[in-house]
Amino acid sequence: MNILESKNINLLIDFDSTFVKVETLDILAEVCFGSDSNAVNNINDITNKAMNGEIPFDIALKKRVTILKANKKHINKTITIIKDSISKSFYKNKDFFKKNAANCFIVSGGFKEIIFPIVKSFGFKDENVYGNEFIYKNNGEIKTINRDNPLAHKLGKIKIANQINQNLSMNEYYKKNLIIGDGFTDYEIKKFGGAEKFIQFSENINRSILNPLADHIAYSFDDVINYIQKNL
């Protein structure tokens, strides 16, 4: 049964440290620089500060992409590594996603080019996957990111959440957005009205600063399904 449809819910899912165990840009940095370089530590540090809400997401993103100097080969290698890093309880619930694909969305500050090949086998539809976009130079190096994409900016996830709701409000049912994620930008979706509930996902990392702000702290995706069944 499509439980999300029967409860009029859209599940908005973060990617880094939620759908997968890792942070994409941290892995990309390791691919570019090897695991013990200063550049990698520098990128990890910026990622953590952004996810704890200490520096704005857009500034953190720009800084990291500039440090990386990545190319298409690095991206392809990163996809291969991340495919093996899917969060345990997401992997276990692959059937849930296949059955509920119409109501599941990825909303990520990461990159669609990396995310889609990974979530595709879970049944996610191309149009339900929202992420940033790299712009390449002719030689295959990443030049910059697409600044026209709302996700490249502060509070971009809220714009996307509202857009998802608007698209669906033309249908006969109004749907509730739930956001599940590990980071501050996920909490902000709820804070600014883009979702009714923020479910903090702590299977991979528990950012304790967010605990008091969460409607529910889920230790696994099974826990998310339980929460939806019992409380919504």
Residues that bind Mg ion (CB under 5 A): 14, 16-17, 182-183
Specify the residue, 45 or 95, whose C-beta has the smaller distance to Mg ion.
45
Least distance in angstroms from the C-beta of 143 to Mg ion: 25
Specify the residue, 16 or 188, whose C-beta has the smaller distance to Mg ion.
16
Give me the residues paired with residue 164 across strands.
Answer: none
Q: What's the rounded Cα separation, in Å, for the pair 176 and 174? A: 7
CB 122 within 8 A of CB 99: no
Residue 226 corresponds to which amino acid? N
Q: What's the rounded Cα separation, in Å, for the pair 101 and 97? A: 5
Specify the residue, 8 or 44, whose C-beta has the smaller distance to Mg ion.
44
Burial call 209-222: b when 16+ CB within 10 Å, e when fewer: ebeeebbbebebbe
Specify the residue, 14 or 26, whose C-beta has the smaller distance to Mg ion.
14
The CA distances from residue 223 to 71, 123, 132, 197, in Å, are 38, 21, 29, 15
Residue 63 corresponds to which amino acid? K
Least distance in angstroms from the C-beta of 186 to Mg ion: 7
Specify the residue, 14 or 58, whose C-beta has the smaller distance to Mg ion.
14
Specify the residue, 2 or 50, whose C-beta has the smaller distance to Mg ion.
50
Least distance in angstroms from the C-beta of 108 to Mg ion: 7
Least distance in angstroms from the C-beta of 110 to Mg ion: 8
Least distance in angstroms from the C-beta of 89 to Mg ion: 15
Least distance in angstroms from the C-beta of 207 to Mg ion: 9
First vs last C-alpha separation in the chain: 16
Residue 12 corresponds to which amino acid? L
DSSP H/E element including 92? helix 88-92
